[in-house]
């Protein structure tokens, strides 16, 4: 497996952060919904997606 470089690590961190920011932006899209309780399924989809990306990063790092 190819070595994970600092540049590739930084690129993947930025990709993960971009996706998390996209989730946040989507959640705040409609001001009328800002005070609405979040659906547990939405939180699960988010955490599953982020966990998958972080697990892949661990794999690439050899961990």
Domains of the chain: which residue ranges? Answer: 1-18+41-63
User: Per the structure block, which two tokens stand in for 53?
Assistant: 């990306």
Which positions of the chain have pLDDT values less than 50? none
pLDDT value at residue 2 = 64
Instruction: Quote the distance between the C-alpha of residue 47 and its chain's center.
Output: 8
Contact criterion met (CB below 8 Å) for 62 and 4: yes
Of residues 53, 18, 45, the one with CA closest to residue 61: 53
The rounded distance, in Å, linking the Cα atoms of 15 and 12 is 5
CA quadruple 32, 36, 39, 43: dihedral, nearest 10: 80
């Amino acid at each position: 497996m190819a070595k994970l470089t600092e540049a590739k690590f930084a690129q993947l961190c930025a990709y993960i952060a971009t996706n998390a920011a996209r989730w946040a932006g989507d959640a705040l899209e409609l001001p009328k919904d800002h005070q609405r309780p979040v659906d547990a399924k939405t939180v699960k989809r988010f955490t599953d997606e982020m966990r998958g990306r972080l697990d892949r990063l661990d794999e690439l790092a050899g961990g």
